[in-house]
Amino acid sequence: MAYQALYRVWRPQTFSDVIGQDVITQTLRNAVASHMTSHAYLFSGPRGTGKTSCAKILAKAVNCLNPHDGEPCNECEICLAANENRLNDVIEIDAASNNGVEEIRDIRDKVKYAPTEAKFKVYIIDEVHMLSQGAFNALLKTLEEPPANVMFILATTEPQKIPATIISRTQSFNFRRISRQDILERMTFILKDKNIQYDEEALNIIAASAEGGMRDALSILDQALSYGDDELTLKNAQEVTGALSNEQIVSYMTAIADNKPAEALTSLYQILASGRSALRFTEMIIRVCRNLILYNSNSDLSKQMDNSVMTQELLDIADKFDNSRLFYIVDQVSATQKNLKNSNQTDIYMEILTVKISEPKVTPSTTEETTTGNDDKVENIEIDKLRDQISHLQSEVKDLSNGATPVQQVSAKPKGHHRANNNTRLNKTAIYKVLGSATKGDLNNAKDIWPDLMSMLEISQRAMMRVAQPVAASPEGIVVAFDYAMWFEQVQDDSEFLRELTDNVSRLMKKDCQIVLVPKADWPKIRKEYIDNNIDSDNKDKVKSNKETKKTDPTVDEAVKLFGEDIVDIKED
């Protein structure tokens, strides 16, 4: 027989085999034993917590020929047929691929027929939240008044998507995440049964990576065993899960404790280069900080530390962190995690985080300041203000005695440094060049290809260009105006992005086309300047042309010779 994954081989076959759901399994077992089962159940909860397994066990238990205290015997022909997926009266439906009205109507039509082998006909609908609204409506009446020998078991990971009318017609059970200890015990039992050597720290890493899902834990364990050739070591578990090694986290946290950003960045680059997940890295930092806070607090809390994370090397640097700094690090890491989930520039966020938490000075929490301390701080501020005023008056008196007026004093003050104006970033020459041959047709063509240009950009680039649009165009270029100066500056300074924009536009327009940027607030002024300059130039050329024409008249030429060009005033008839 072909190899089967661990989670399939070790799928629970009785309620007592289900891990971490004692309340639910005891309730179902009692209901079966007392013949008080409901006609419809709703099993909801995270993935891999036993919903489908409990549904199959319940389907066997209500049909078992020799049940014992609500448990299926797994020996009668009904149980054996159910275990081998050949019991026709247990129908499993995947709502993800059978979510239409027709499928549910088919169930409604067939539900009236009696079971062929078992006592109950059981419908197990997995991922029921995927059903369409029409399908839910078709299922509603059947759930409300089903035949006496029919049972529905609905399973879902997203109960909030199920209509309240459906939920109210079922007995609802919420499956919770399985504790790490229960996952560890189950994996240990399986490995001992298979006579496989294992490292306890490796099991801890796998249990943490599973995030409360037994199926995920067994899948990772299966992968680690395959990687290690039927041997589970710490290194194998770290490679499969992407978890950090003790050396990596100790090196990083030591650099943070010593306020050495350069060393911390070097350690960060090594961690990321080894293929470790940035998100998993941040989770490890929070876990380490949590354990350090417990260790620094008191002996009672230190017993709650995660010994799989806290090595002796980390305990040796614990005295370099106080709790206020650890709280600060956790806050910064948590904020970075939100950005990591919505960005593809994870390396940059991790670099910024590393520099932030490596800084030696941390702003103290305001909650640690006492009322007396606040009063003293206010008094000190007032005293400083009075000193500044006295010093200012003394300097004014000194200037007056030297003959300088207050106006002179004010004018002598140095000017503050201001940020460079956007005009220094504008390429007016390129803008004027486009305006020189701009047409409405070219502008319409630019607007037509603009949606296609947006689709060619990355998500972050698209977000920046969403506040920009073409405002003028010629056969050789397009002027793009930005609603906000901040985005104009960012794109203008990104030469690589500008080059990509130009290449994409040229490809869409099927000719060389330059992109010129301008803030939208400055665009009317620039356009007016261009128009005014061109009108003045045209007028000068026209006047000069008129004068030259008039001078060709013989009478005018003779008058100019006699009286001079400055005195002669030429008028048209």
**Structure tokens that stand for 468 in this block:** 């920009």
Q: Is 259 left (phi over 0), alpha (psi -120 to 50) or beta?
A: left
- C-alpha 510: how far from chain center: 37
**Cβ-contact 74, 13 below 8 angstroms:** yes
**Cβ-contact 470, 443 below 8 angstroms:** yes
Interatomic CA distance for residues 173 and 128, integer angstroms:
14
Query: What confidence tens digit (pLDDT) does each residue in 458-482 have?
Result: 766 777 787 889 999 998 899 999 8
Tokens 């042309």: give the residue: 545
Residue 543: the pLDDT is: 47
Q: Kind of pairing, strands 40-44 and 514-519? A: unpaired
Query: What confidence tens digit (pLDDT) does each residue in 514-552 have?
Result: 899 999 888 888 888 888 887 655 555 554 555 454 445
- For 43, the enclosing helix (H) or strand (E) is strand 40-44
Cα dihedral 488, 492, 496, 502, rounded to 10, equals 80
In terms of C-beta density within 10 A (0-12 exposed, 13-18 middle, 19 or more buried), how is residue 515 classed? buried
pLDDT beyond 50 at 54: yes
In terms of C-beta density within 10 A (0-12 exposed, 13-18 middle, 19 or more buried), how is residue 441 classed? exposed
**Sign of the alpha-carbon torsion through 196, 197, 202, 203:** positive
Q: pLDDT band at 483, cuts 50/70/90? A: confident
Global pTM value: 0.58
Q: Give residue 111's identity as a one-letter amino acid code.
A: V
Q: How many residues does the chain have?
A: 573
Interatomic CA distance for residues 246 and 571, integer angstroms:
97
Query: What confidence tens digit (pLDDT) does each residue in 81-116 have?
Result: 999 888 999 999 998 888 888 888 888 888 888 888
Orientation angle between helical segments 554-563 and 523-551, nearest 10 degrees: 90
3-state secondary structure at position 129: helix
- C-alpha 88: how far from chain center: 45
Cα dihedral 482, 488, 492, 496, rounded to 10, equals -80
Question: Count H helices, E strands: the chain?
Answer: 27, 8
Interatomic CA distance for residues 244 and 275, integer angstroms:
10
